[in-house]
Chain A
Amino acid sequence: MKKSLRVILLAALVCSLFFVTAQAKEYTILVMPKLVGIPYFNASETGALQAGKDLGVNVIYAGPTQADAAAQVKMIEDYISRGVDAIAVAPNDPAALTPVLRRAKQRGILVMDWDTPADKSVVELSVHQIDDKVYGEHNWDLLVEAMGTDEGEYAIITGGLAAANLNTWIDHGLAYAKEKYPNLKLVTERIPSDEKQQEAYRKTLDLLRAYPNLKGIIGISTPAPIGAAQAVEERGLQDKVAVVGTALPNDSAPYLKSGALKVSTLWDPAKLGYLTVALAVKRLNGEEVYDGMEISNVGVIDVWDDGITVIMGPPTDFTADNVDQFDF
């Protein structure tokens, strides 16, 4: 019995020593995603760590293995014990994080959110990838550009009818289209695709059959434009029906090159990670963060009048020409 205990002790000691992070540099900044191990948040990790290297701070990128708010709360509590200078979190459930973030703030830790807003009263900075209004409108501009005309029939395929962020973008886009492109005709209500490429593909085939004069499709939610492009390509309609929308560059690449997808648009999560760390460092150094500020490797940022909300900038468009520069 004693021997086995000794073996466990030794093994545990070796393991722990092995994984202990390098000694702290000047500042330690915790960047916490909703969960670890998915491509989107892996890409932002690359950016956050790069920023740490460039700016000479110690960046810890850690999050739960499931998108669970309780797990996030506990990890934040443990990192408060560990001692960090700043915490930037992408909350799974904003309300659940309020008590622990308030405690962090009381202990003099700089509290920020990124990717998804937390409770506004506890954060000092809120880093957003995109202005929802700009992003919604941008999709409609891309559609008109891809169709080559601002009149004709089009349809919208969305991820899900209950997804708040997707609905916000679509609502902004529809309001904008009513003003700016009155001759665009939406053939039917937004069509849900369960966040699945296969479902978007099937719904698009139905659409193409039901509306032979269809000129354009906007896909909102990352699998939607891909599924739509797949259907358009299969039916050989890429010169007649323009597909645009929000999609990841790696998924988009083949369809962009075949012409079934004209353009896709999103933000660069690596840049978002980079910006989050860069702003944390600025704040820790006591610098102001202001509208029109230039952040190296990111660009010019917008800061809203509340002094808290930071917008990374305009969306990044992926076309057949530039898509290979991105990897996420």
Chain B
Amino acid sequence: MENNKKEYMLCGVLAIIVIIMSILSPDRFLSLYNLQTMAFQLPEFGIIALGMMIVILTGGINLSITSGSALAGIMAAFILSGRVMVGASIGMSIALAIGVILVTSVLLGLLNGFVVAYIGVTPILVTLGSKTLYEGISMWLTKGGAISNFPEAYYWFGNESIIGIPVPMIIFIIIALITYVLLEKTPWGTRVYMVGSNPTAAVFSGINIKRVLMQVYVYSALMAGLAGVIMLSRYNSAKVDLGSSYLLQSVAAVVLGGTNIAGGSGKVFGTVIAVAILQVISSGLNILGVNRFIIDMITGAILIAVLTLNIISNRRESRRKSDETVLVAENRG
């Protein structure tokens, strides 16, 4: 935690990939249009990754994150498409829809948090179960189809820009800043890291682990909900599998960003850079017309390469440290 080596390396990797893409297709990759497109694509994924990260920090995982997004999105879609609350004005129904997304998310988060924190079931099992549960409810609500045709005004969240910066990007930046301050600048954040690195020590330090876990799962679900707000707007419809492809990608981004999968360490900045790396690879290779299967392969290979580098540098570090301790001990002796 004391240095930012991992983050510097990630920035380096990002810079290299950007340079490669720019050399390979200078007129297309660096075009304003493509930069804007990427800025539209990144936020929904980034927000989900942040929601995933905070849970992983506590040593857990949230496999229900995208299903929660979809379920909250579907509830809102019923209002936006005018299937329920017929006759409400457009402004009303948008406000109501966003309210419904946030309330649903909090409830879904409370459910996960309660079972993990107070009953004590392993997070991976709880969230695998709630994933199936949420998907079942979504399927039952939609009968497998898509709920679509929202008012034009709702497009704003996913498709408009303010002085050239996409609205979803602004939302993402605000959320990333809030998450950064909460996790890395407040006592609450320190508690989250402590719960992840050593729960027993945390208990003896007087931390209410259960409450922290509960809050973490609610925060994660809220992130899923906010990503849902953007996805609904960008895709103009809600379906059971809305954003399902982000589930494992978000775990990949969090780990690529330097967060320890066992919990206890990791930085918001690292996750954000990792999301950007995955985005640039995906868009850059699409622009080059590379086959989608090969894009998946390259993404996987880069992930493995960076993780390997992380582990090697960690090992070197700990070896140097232990050497130093030995030296100190010898000097004293």
By a beta-carbon cutoff of 8 Å, the part of chain A in contact with chain B is 1, 4-5, 8-9, 12-13, 15-17, 19-21, 36-37, 60, 62-66, 68-71, 73-75, 77-83, 93, 95-96, 98-99, 162
Contact = CB atoms under 8 A, between A and B. Distances in A.
Given A69-B235, A96-B146, A19 B34 contact: no
B30 to A, nearest CB: 10
B294 interface: yes
Nearest to A37: B293
Given A65-B292, A78-B283, 7 more contacts: A1-B309, A4-B312, A12-B302, A65-B293, A65-B296, A77-B40, A82-B25
Nearest to B246: A70
7 contacts: A16-B285, A19-B289, A20-B289, A37-B293, A62-B289, A65-B292, A83-B28
A80 B305 CA distance: 31
The interface centre, meaning the residue of A64, A77, A83 with most chain B CB atoms within 10 A of its CB, is A77
Contact of B24 (A9, A17, A60): A17
Secondary structure of the A contact surface, majority rule: helix
A99 B245 contact: no
Contact of B288 (A21, A68, A162): A21
A63 B286 contact: no
B286 A78 contact: yes
A276 to B, nearest CB: 18
A5 B313 CA distance: 13
Nearest to A4: B309
Given A1-B9, A5-B12, A13-B20, A66 B236 contact: no
Contact of B293 (A36, A75, A98): A36
Nearest to B150: A95
B292 A8 contact: no
Interface of B: 9, 12-13, 16-17, 20-21, 24-25, 28-29, 31, 33-34, 37, 40-41, 143-144, 146, 148-149, 155, 158-159, 231, 234-237, 239, 241-245, 282-283, 285-294, 296, 298, 302, 305, 309, 312-313
A45 B104 CA distance: 43
A82 B287 contact: yes
A8 B13 contact: yes
B244 A68 contact: yes
A99 B293 contact: no
B239 A69 contact: yes
Given A65-B296, A70-B242, A81 B16 contact: no
Nearest to B9: A1
The interface centre, meaning the residue of A60, A79, A82 with most chain B CB atoms within 10 A of its CB, is A82
B135 to A, nearest CB: 14
A193 B276 CA distance: 45
Contacts of A65: 292-293, 296
A77 B37 contact: yes
Given A19-B291, A21-B288, A36-B293, A96 B236 contact: yes
Nearest to A22: B289
Contacts of A37: 293
B235 A70 contact: yes
Given A70-B245, A73-B235, A99-B234, A16 B146 contact: no
Q: Which 7 A-B pairs have the closest CB atoms?
A: A95-B148, A78-B286, A81-B34, A96-B235, A95-B237, A21-B289, A82-B287
A12 B283 CA distance: 15
Contacts of A5: 9, 12-13, 16
B9 A16 contact: no
Contacts of B28: 81-83
B210 to A, nearest CB: 35
Contacts of A9: 16, 20
B231 A70 contact: yes
Contacts of A21: 288-289
Contacts of B16: 5, 8-9, 12
A83 B245 CA distance: 25
Contacts of A96: 146, 148, 235-237, 239
The interface centre, meaning the residue of A74, A83, A98 with most chain B CB atoms within 10 A of its CB, is A74
Nearest to A107: B33
Contacts of A82: 25, 28, 286-289
